[in-house]
Amino acid sequence: MNRLPTLLAPNISYADRKPAVGLPIEDFNTTLPVELAHQVYLPQSFTPTYDYPLVIWLHSDDSSEMELTPVMETLSEQNYIGIAPRANIRSQSQRRVFRWGDTRADYAYAEDVVWECINASLETLPVHPGRIFLAGFGRGGTLAQWIGLQYAERIAGVVSLSGPAPTIGGALSHWKNARDLPLLFAQRQGSSLCSDQCLNNAMRLAHRAALNYTFWQLQDEVDSFDDSDDLSSSMLLAANRFMMSIVTGSPCNLQPEPSREQWVGPFGIN
C-alpha cells in the first residue's frame, strides 16, 4: 500500500462530503469505495441528515470483519456508523479467519487500512469528522491504542477491550499530543488475552506519559461466563457509555449492569 496517505492522514473537510447528505438510504451502500475487505454497519432508523459518530472496529485474532454486526448491535443499534477492516494475515487454524501481525510493518498496514476506511467514510457517509472512535477486541484493542496514540489530534477516543497496551517501539513517540486523548482500557478479571499483569503494564504506561487512560475491570461477581476471554455485553455497554460521554460532553459512569449481561463472543483467539 502507498504509505503517503497514512503519513499525511489528510483532513477531509465537513463541507467536502456534505453533498452526500440527504440522499435516500438505498444510495448509502454497505461497502466503501476501497479495495480492502471490510464490513459496514448502518444504524437502525438510519437518518442521512444526521452526523453520526464513526466507530472503526478492529477485530480479534482468528476472526474477521464479520464481528462487526453483533458488536454494533450490542454496543448500540442507533448511535453509530461502524466500519470493520479485515486483518492482514490469514489464520492457519481455520478457513476465512484472519489475525493481525505484530511487526512494525504489520502495524503500518493497520494504520493504512484504518485511514482508508476513515477517509472513505467521510467522503461517502454522514459521519461527523470530530467524532471518530477506534475500538477493538484482543489484539484489535492493542492496535486501536497504537493508532490512536499516533494520531490523537484526529481521533475522538479509543476503546480497547481485553487488548494489552502496545509494546512495540514508538508507542509513545507522540506522547505530548496524545495526553488529551480519552482512552478506555477495559479488562476482565482472569482473562488470558489481557491478564492482570497487562493491566498493570498499561497503568504504568499511562502514568509514565501522563496519558488520559480510563481503566475498568469487569469483576468475577458480575461476570456470568466461565470463559473470561469471551466478549460480553457488559464490556460493550461500558464502551458505549464511554464514547457517548465524549460525544455529549457529559460525565461517564462505567458501572456494570449485571442484569443485562449477555454472550456476544467469543470471536477469536489472541
Residue keyed to cell 458480575: 222
- CA distances (Å), origin 147, targets 94, 132, 180, 186, 214: 28, 12, 15, 17, 17
Indicate if the pLDDT at residue 10 is higher than 70.
no
What is the percentage of the chain residues whose pLDDT exceeds 70?
80
Extents of the domains making up the chain: 33-260
Band of pLDDT at residue 19, cut at 50, 70 and 90: very low
Indicate if the pLDDT at residue 136 is higher than 70.
yes
CB 120 within 8 A of CB 31: no
Comparing 56-60, 162-166, 230-234, 240-244, which segment has the lowest mean pLDDT? 230-234
- For the whole model, what pTM was predicted? 0.85
Give the H/E segment covering residue 186.
strand 183-188
Q: What tens digit of pLDDT does each residue of 90-111 get? A: 987 667 899 999 999 999 999 9
Per-residue pLDDT at 218: 83
The whole-number average pLDDT for the span 32-46 is: 92
Q: Which fold has domain 33-260?
A: Rossmann fold (3.40.50)
The whole-number average pLDDT for the span 171-196 is: 88
Top-confidence residue, 270 or 108: 108
**Sequence-ordered strand ranges (E) for 9-116:** 38-41, 52-58, 81-85, 89-90, 98-99
Comparing 16-25, 184-193, 210-219, 227-236, which segment has the lowest mean pLDDT? 16-25
